[in-house]
Amino acid sequence: MTRLKLVLAVLVTALVAVAGAAADTTLNLVAYSTPKPVMAQIISDFQKTPDGQGVSFNQSYGPSTSQAKAIVAGLPADVAFLSTGDDVNYLADNGLVDPAWWATKDYGIAANTVVVFAVRHYNPKHIKGWADLIKPGVQVVTPNPFSSGSAKWNILAAYAAERHLGKTDAQAQAYVKTLFQHVVSQDSSGSNATNTFLSGKGDVLITYESEAIAAQAKGQDIEYVIPRQTMLIQLPIVPLKNSPNVDLAKKFIAFVQSTPEQILLGQNGFRPVDKTAAAQFKKKYPVRPGQFTIGDKVIGGWRAADKKWFDPTHGLMVQIEQAVGGPTSGA
């Protein structure tokens, strides 16, 4: 065999090996429950690209905090799409995600949404703002904050809304406690809470705008109100740094953040983070005058919020749940 033929043979063998490896690649996506339908479409689109050729996906969906705990306990994951930065911080604290994930270009936010009030047809209880949730006779549905990321957003939105309405820290905390005296169901996830509300329980469901839109898309009889003071919910998607497929995971995340897929997310109830895509949805997704973020000074970011509100031993929500007879764990 000539030298040229030998080199060609080695190259062909290498290319076959690479092609075979690609065909055998599986990405493990672990996500919170709401984006399951749109992620199926995004994955299908990705598999039609050169980077996605021959790539299969194992997908796991469930309550965000429970999913983060499962990853730490050993659930295989290459990409985590969770509903709070708090849950990603938990992964980081266990050495699975870059501690500065929020500041690294390869990481990011998949999409945004806001906290809304889902109500019955024609809104018979006239729910418009946070004060309406604690009126006599109003029954509220919101998930369990010890398993659901959605629940954490809801609680922080309620507290920060009161602060933005001029209440003191103590008064805003008291509002949250009063609110939970009106809560009649705390399901494990935002999606399960939606199902409970749709089954007829409660007068108002505190939820994601994206969750309410998803229910409407399924033909459910549900309406929603965006309160004047509401939280912008930033939904993080990150690669697991010890994943054997970390480079491919980053390519998939970049694909999720690309303009065409952001438009797809916008069409499915999520607020795009890509500016080009977001420009197409200005009317569909209005910005409320009192909109705030997790970085608002009255909250101080996820680290501060977790310590103050969700610490399993000393957090305010353990105290509030004990006072109202609610859950104190994610079990």
Report the percent of the chain where pLDDT is more than 90.
Answer: 89
> CA 139: distance to chain centroid?
25
pLDDT for residue 84: 93
pLDDT for residue 108: 87
pLDDT for residue 14: 43
pLDDT for residue 106: 66
Reported confidence tier of residue 331, pLDDT bands at 50, 70, 90 = low
- Give CA separation, 146 vs 64, 66, 68, 159, 311, in Å: 10, 8, 12, 17, 9
pLDDT for residue 23: 53
Is 27-331 assigned to CATH 3.40.190.10? Answer: yes
Q: What's the whole-number average pLDDT of the chain?
A: 92
- Average pLDDT for 2-27: 52
- Average pLDDT for 186-197: 95
Beta bridge partners, 114, equal: 232
pLDDT digits (tens, 9 = 90+) for 141-171: 999 999 999 999 999 999 999 999 999 999 9
- Average pLDDT for 264-275: 97
pLDDT for residue 305: 97
pLDDT for residue 102: 85
| Measured distance CA(236)–CA(233) in Å, rounded | 10
Please determine, for residue 60, whether its predicted confidence score (pLDDT) is greater than 90: yes
Please determine, for residue 57, whether its predicted confidence score (pLDDT) is greater than 50: yes
pLDDT for residue 38: 96
Please determine, for residue 252, whether its predicted confidence score (pLDDT) is greater than 80: yes
| Measured distance CA(298)–CA(265) in Å, rounded | 30
- Give CA separation, 147 vs 165, 227, 246, in Å: 29, 25, 27
